Amino acid sequence: MPDSTTIKVSTKTRDALRQLADRDGLTLDAQLGQLIRRERRRMIGTQLASAPLDAAEEATLDASASDLADASG
């Protein structure tokens, strides 16, 4: 890790992070990175889910739903 810094967190937060990192077999740094990435992906998903679909996107989803229904029926 070429660059590093110290951050102050409560012992409760540190212990919770350590527990997650140990569970996943990661360092604290890697676990924090993974949590940050997951949060960014969650935020992007929320933004995408709230965006209205245009007519072409709705047609694509309808066609995909029909294909699935035909394949299972």
Q: Using CA atoms, how far apart are residues 27 and 41, in angstroms rounded to an integer?
A: 21
Predicted pLDDT of residue 73: 63
Question: Could you read off the pLDDT of 12-54 as tens digits, one per residue?
Answer: 999 999 999 999 999 999 999 999 999 999 999 999 889 898 9
Q: Using CA atoms, how far apart are residues 40 and 60, in angstroms rounded to an integer?
A: 27
Residue 51 DSSP one-character state: S
Q: What would the two tokens of residue 36 be?
A: 């940050």
Predicted pLDDT of residue 70: 79
Residue 36: which of 12, 17, 10 has the closest Cα?
17
